[in-house]
Amino acid sequence: MTNAPILEMRNISKAFGGVQALRDVSFSCRKGKVHALLGENGAGKSTLIKILAGAYRADSGEIVFKGKRHAAFSAREAMASGISIIYQELNLVQFMTVAENIFLGREPRNRLGVIDTRRMTKESAELLDQLGVRLSPSAYIGDLTVANQQMVEIAKALSQNADLIVMDEPSAILAGHELKSLFATIRSLVEQGVTIVYISHRLNEIFEIADDVTVLKDGRVVSVHPISEVSRAQLIQMMVGRPLEEIFPRAMRSRGAPVLTATDVTTERLSSPASLTLYEGEILGLAGMVGAGRTEVARALFGADALRTGKILLKDAVIRPSSPKDAVEAGLALVPEDRKTQGLFLEQSIRSNITLSSLDKLTRFGMIQRGLETETIARAQRELSIAMASPELEAQHLSGGNQQKVVLAKWLQTSPSAIIFDEPTRGVDVGAKFEIYELMRQLAERGVAILMISSDLVEILGMSDRILVMHERRIVGQLSREQASEERIIELATIGAHGETEPA
């Protein structure tokens, strides 16, 4: 029974204007299994899922779900058939309760047609209990963590008697124990016979949670395999078209003189003294578990948190940044962990976002020189390969990789001596990751010192010339490229034992 397909999408094609989004795509899922759907941005994943959800109608092909053939679904038919989609941007009403969100638009009513609040609360509690989630049905969504909000979305899917649940980048906003909780919930759903389609850019998760994997590229299926039959390197090559060893560009120069030195730095958030040195032309990786203090180090260096103790030298000059503005003027830049809330003005144009940090260079007598501004935008687009229809497009409409390039373009206008990259490829597809890695290495080759904070150990090992590891808000070890391994980094990050050290 478990090998029988619950869903078959046969020979699906879809075009938008002159752009062919899907070409004769066939996709199937086994009942009670987790099927990963992979591909770069633009590969066709979202289009395929929206056809399944009834948001789009395919130009050709058919859908067979639970043995019934459909030329197309409407959104209502898809839901009524037992298909539920949990999108990356959660679709919940913040000022309503958990129970009200679970049954929104489908509220149980009594014989008088009045909403039966008691029954709605009781059934919500049963659904949450089924998922092993300790949440009050009367709690307001706005008071919940993002992880718990996601559990409410899953409970809503179950309330619709979903046999198949599509999870679109469910882990993009989760980490640590929250991610483990999500995986436990998925395994529980699978045991109950629910089928999961899991979309993610995080390949480590795919190998942990998925049974099967389909890879899309340029609107076509390039691979369908049981997950046990493919390697990470093979999946990357299928998605990107180049082997894993080519993903991480290697250093072509040796490191130069010290650019930034922090000695015994502490802040209110960073209680243990932190010391490190960034060298010209080097990428220094900073690894550790979530909550280890990596972002706190970045905030201290960038002036986001006031220094309590310690000293920072930038090119032999003592700096004590009391704000990010001071740090930028001194020659530092920070590409933040959350680009959407900390790195960009999403509702502003790409033009405005790129030039925000360098308006003084583009202004004459209080007026922006449009010709100079246009030249700046064109140069940034060319050098960083930013894919955009127009500089006037709002930044929110760009893909994750192109948004990250816009953040970087903004800071490059300030000609920084050192750049801090905090989770540089979070929420970015594999192809865009490669482009960002190339940009980082090109900056290092030009002499820029880079501090890279990342939770992706493959990324840390692939990009770093040296690696510092943090445990419980302390730097507990330093590893050279030759000494570093996933096992050694995890040992330092979880136990805190000291590694081979030299001045950090």
Other CB atoms closer than 10 Å to residue 131's CB: what's the count? 18
Residue 103: CB atoms within 10 A of its CB come to: 23
3-state SS of 335-352? ECCCHHHHHCCCCCEHHH
Residue 256 confidence (pLDDT) above 70: yes
pLDDT digits (tens, 9 = 90+) for 357-416: 776 777 777 777 777 888 888 888 888 888 888 888 888 888 888 888 999 989 888 889
Q: What are the tens digits of pLDDT across the range 302-348?
A: 999 999 999 999 988 888 888 888 999 899 999 988 787 888 888 88
pLDDT at 1: 44
What is the C-alpha to C-alpha distance for residues 157 and 369, in angstroms, rounded to an integer?
53
In degrees rounded to 5, what are phi and psi of residue 450?
-125, 130
Q: Which residue has the tokens 């050279």?
A: 480
Q: Which residues of 349-377 are buried (b: 16+ CB within 10 A; e: fewer)?
A: bbbbbbbebbeeebeeeeeeeeeebeebb
* pLDDT band with cut points at 50, 70 and 90 for residue 243: low
Residue (of 359, 345, 374) closest to 414 by Cα position = 359
Residue 177 has pLDDT above 70, yes or no: no
- Distance spanning both ends of the chain, measured CA to CA: 57
Mean pLDDT score, 484-495? 83
Which domains are delineated in the chain?
Answer: 5-246 (3.40.50.300), 247-331+418-424+443-504 (3.40.50.300), 337-415 (no CATH)
If you write DSSP's letter for every residue of 86-117 in order, what string do you get? E-SS----TTSBHHHHHTTT---B-TTS-B-H
DSSP structural state of residue 279: E
pLDDT score at 174? 62
* Beta bridge mates, 196: 34, 165
Q: What are phi and psi of 77, to 5 degrees?
A: -65, -40
Distance CA(407)–CA(195), nearest Å, equals: 38
In Å, how far are 268, 300, 308, 311 from 273, measured between CA atoms? 11, 11, 10, 11
Note the pTM of the prediction, 2 decimals.
0.63
Say how far apart CA 451 and CA 453 lie, in whole Å.
Answer: 7
Q: What is the rounded CA–CA span in Å between residue 464 and residue 283?
A: 5
CB 52 within 8 A of CB 79: no
Instruction: Give the C-alpha separation, 219 to 502, whole Å.
Output: 50
Q: Give residue 245's pLDDT.
A: 60
pLDDT confidence of 75, banded at 50, 70, 90?
Answer: confident
**Mean pLDDT lowest for which of 49-58, 102-111, 177-186?**
177-186
* DSSP string across 387-453: --S-TTSBGGGS-HHHHHHHHHHHHHTT--SEEEEESTTTT--HHHHHHHHHHHHHHHHTT-EEEEE
Q: What percent of the chain has pLDDT over 90?
A: 41
Axis-axis angle for helices 146-159, 117-130 (nearest 10) = 110
Q: Which residue has the tokens 């709605």?
A: 120
